[in-house]
Amino acid sequence: MKKEPLWTKDFLGVSFISFFLFVVFYILLTTLPIYVLEDLNSSESSVGLVTGVFLIAAVLCRPFTGKWIDVIGRKKILLFAVAIFFISSLLYQLASSVTFLVILRFLHGIGFGMATTATGAIVADIIPDRRKGEGLGYYALFMNLAMVIGPFTGLTIVQFTNFSWLFNLCLIMAIIAFILSFIVHIPEASPANNESKNEPSGFSISSFFEKNAVPIAIVGGILALAYSGVLSFISIYANELGLIEAASFFFVVYAAFIIASRPFTGRWFDMYGENRIVYPAIILFAIGMLMLSFATNTFFFLLAGGLIGLGYGNLSPALQTIAIQNSDSSKSGLATSTFFTFFDSGIGIGSYALGVIAVYTSFSNLYLILAGVVLLAFVAYHFLHGKNVLNVQKQAKQQLTKNIT
């Protein structure tokens, strides 16, 4: 059977929109703390506020965006969201006070949350059904690359020039994303609108969360909470170990392992099912966190980064694929927003809660605890989804045996 095409201009267009959105996100995530402390002469508490308000805005708008995508339409929501993102990027040059910056970050978070929810739903519609796991894996790879390119670019610019240049670069990327949003052809899921019209018009939780995506979204939230410990504290931990030079290469190795594995893991997901990917990936993630806890030299520190990339880097697209496949095709937007709402909440809660825990223990112990959290996600996945898949496979084998005999 001839494979349906994956690398179409529309798939690439949506992937590059996501890439530029995430590059801007990671550039600002790593450099704005410096801007707040040095250029605005503010305090560390203001740094937390500037970072946190962005994630809060993104989380708050995702459930609404998921509903609007399926009712109003993907193209309209994407254009509106990227327009907000573009306007926000334009206003950073005027951010001369913490108050203005906090308001701007909230607006920017709304644009980011809406736009990334929209691109996630759109790309799920563009990818052929038989290549969902492979396609979403490659789509996630664009975000993984942004995770490496963004911080490296932002910190390099700040080191050799000023924030005016950095804000201009972010604006250029936002403009490119905005232009691509007009060019890319976005299929509209017509059945969604009919189903949505038959639903009650009043407020209900089910209007903003896809119930069939919630179980796997819970697993994603637990894993994201564990990963927030890496995202938030890896540079501090590296400095504590005397490996600060290695810290800049941690996410490079992380991305390298993802890039090397992605051509295989996505196809295996489609060919052999989700359990063959998710169970081993969670184990690799846990081993990576455990190795990070006991790392004493550059080799083991970077190897831990590679194993975390191989594990967690493949889990995110796999779980998103499951969330979409478990839901009605007319609710892919709602399923996507549900998954990322739990995912972002895990990152946000983890960043704060783990910071509090770190005050009372060492970072080495913190990563040991997080290895246990990852194993908790293993148990949660098994009972919330994996067990059902095994039962279905068992019944299919029994039926096949019965037919043969």
User: For residue 35, what pLDDT is reported?
Assistant: 85
* pLDDT at residue 255 tops 90: no
Reported in sequence order, the residue ranges of 165-248 that DSSP labels E, i.e. its strands, are none
Alpha-carbon torsion (318, 323, 326, 330), positive or negative: negative
Q: Is residue 229 part of a domain?
A: yes
- Tens-place pLDDT, residues 380-397: 999 999 888 877 767 766
User: For residue 206, what pLDDT is reported?
Assistant: 61
Distance from the Cα of residue 53 to its chain's centroid: 17
- Tens-place pLDDT, residues 256-288: 898 888 878 888 888 888 899 999 999 999 999
Q: Are residues 358 and 392 in the same domain?
A: yes
- Tens-place pLDDT, residues 161-212: 888 999 999 999 999 999 999 998 876 654 444 444 445 445 556 667 788 8
Q: Are residues 149 and 14 in the same domain?
A: yes
What percentage of the chain reaches a pLDDT higher than 70?
90
Alpha-carbon torsion (368, 370, 376, 381), positive or negative: negative
User: For residue 79, what pLDDT is reported?
Assistant: 94
Q: Is residue 137 part of a domain?
A: yes
Q: Are residues 9 and 82 in the same domain?
A: yes
Q: What are phi and psi of 336, to 5 degrees?
A: -65, -45
Q: How far apart are CA 402 and CA 405, in angstroms?
A: 5
Q: Is residue 398 part of a domain?
A: yes
Q: Are residues 82 and 176 in the same domain?
A: yes
Q: Is residue 119 part of a domain?
A: yes
CA atoms within 13 A on the CB side of 392: 8
- Give the structural domain span for 387: 209-405
**Per-residue confidence band for 155, with pLDDT thresholds at 50, 70 and 90:** confident
User: For residue 171, what pLDDT is reported?
Assistant: 96
What tokens does 230 get?
Answer: 């890496």
User: For residue 190, what pLDDT is reported?
Assistant: 47
From 189, 224, 252, give the residue that closes a domain: 189
DSSP state of 113: H
Q: How far apart are CA 294 and CA 301, in angstroms?
A: 9
* pLDDT at residue 1 tops 60: no
Q: Are residues 185 and 213 in the same domain?
A: no
CA atoms within 13 A on the CB side of 314: 33
* pLDDT at residue 45 tops 70: no
Mean pLDDT for the stretch of residues 298-308: 94
The mean pLDDT value of the chain amounts to: 85
Contact indicator for 108, 59 with CB cutoff of 8 Å: no
Comparison of pLDDT for 2 and 311, the residue scoring more: 311
Comparison of pLDDT for 24 and 251, the residue scoring more: 24
Q: How far apart are CA 319 and CA 316, in angstroms?
A: 5
* pLDDT at residue 89 tops 60: yes
Q: Is residue 196 part of a domain?
A: no
Q: Are residues 172 and 214 in the same domain?
A: no
What tokens does 35 get?
Answer: 């801007």
Q: Are residues 249 and 173 in the same domain?
A: no
As a whole number of Å, the end-to-end CA separation of the chain is 29
- What percent helix, strand, coil does the chain show, rounded to 5? 90, 0, 10
Check which CATH number belongs to the domain holding 93 and give it: 1.20.1250.20
User: For residue 191, what pLDDT is reported?
Assistant: 45
CA atoms within 13 A on the CB side of 163: 19
* 38-42, 92-96, 191-195: least confidently modelled range: 191-195
Q: How far apart are CA 284 and CA 88, in angstroms?
A: 38
Q: Are residues 231 and 168 in the same domain?
A: no
Mean pLDDT for the stretch of residues 107-122: 91
140's enclosing H/E stretch is helix 132-160
Q: How far apart are CA 45 and CA 64, in angstroms?
A: 30
User: For residue 38, what pLDDT is reported?
Assistant: 83
**Per-residue confidence band for 339, with pLDDT thresholds at 50, 70 and 90:** confident
Distance from the Cα of residue 236 to its chain's centroid: 22
Mean pLDDT for the stretch of residues 58-79: 86
Contact indicator for 27, 152 with CB cutoff of 8 Å: no
Q: Are residues 106 and 219 in the same domain?
A: no
Q: Are residues 155 and 238 in the same domain?
A: no
* pLDDT at residue 133 tops 70: yes
Residue 42, helix vs strand vs coil: coil
DSSP state of 199: S
Helix (H) and strand (E) counts in the chain: 14, 0
Residue 42: what residue type? S
Q: Are residues 258 and 399 in the same domain?
A: yes
Q: Is residue 203 part of a domain?
A: no
From 189, 218, 243, give the residue that closes a domain: 189
Q: Is residue 144 part of a domain?
A: yes
- Please state the domain count of the chain: 2
Q: How far apart are CA 218 and CA 239, in angstroms?
A: 33
Q: Are residues 185 and 234 in the same domain?
A: no
What percentage of the chain reaches a pLDDT higher than 90?
35
Q: Is residue 198 part of a domain?
A: no
